[in-house]
Amino acid sequence: MQIDFYGFKFEASRVTCVLWSPWRASALEHRLFNEIRQLPGVEVEAAPEEARVHITDVKIWKQATHHLSRILKGWQEETAGSGKEQRIYRWLFEGDTDEHGYDHANEIACLWVYLRCGLDRGELDSEEPSEWIDLNGFGLRFWPVGR
């Protein structure tokens, strides 16, 4: 399926949304994961250490990105009126592969997408937030075609 992720187009056989260590994940990570889990037509897989949702349809993927954007924009606006804190977020792409198409853990190489949140509690005119928080409990995995 051809997926669009904020203007980047990828060819992927499926997308997997992962929630690692649910007991340690933040409320925002849980909100993002639960919103995707509730979409019709997704395959949910649960294990003691993590939960996964597999998406194999383009229409469901479009719904998922719409829901993710809505939640993240709401998270940004929670403190917009107070003027004390400004929130931003960035999607980080990561991938590694050897010459045979496997990653460092000897699994099929794929593209991972993680979320980084910025909090600025000080001077709101600065270009960079005063604090970056990597949300390591939530991630998206774009699987290569044919695997």
d(CA 113, CA 95): 9
Q: According to the model, what pLDDT value does residue 123 have? A: 63
**pTM score:** 0.86
Backbone angles phi, psi at 62, to 5 degrees: -60, -40
Domain edges within the chain = 2-142
Q: Which helix (H) or strand (E) holds 5?
A: strand 2-5
Q: According to the model, what pLDDT value does residue 129 have? A: 67
Q: According to the model, what pLDDT value does residue 124 have? A: 55
Q: Which residues are paired to 55 by β-bridges?
A: 15
Mean pLDDT by 10 residues, the chain (147 residues): 93 95 89 96 93 96 96 87 79 90 85 91 66 92 85
**Longest C-alpha distance within the chain, in Å?**
52
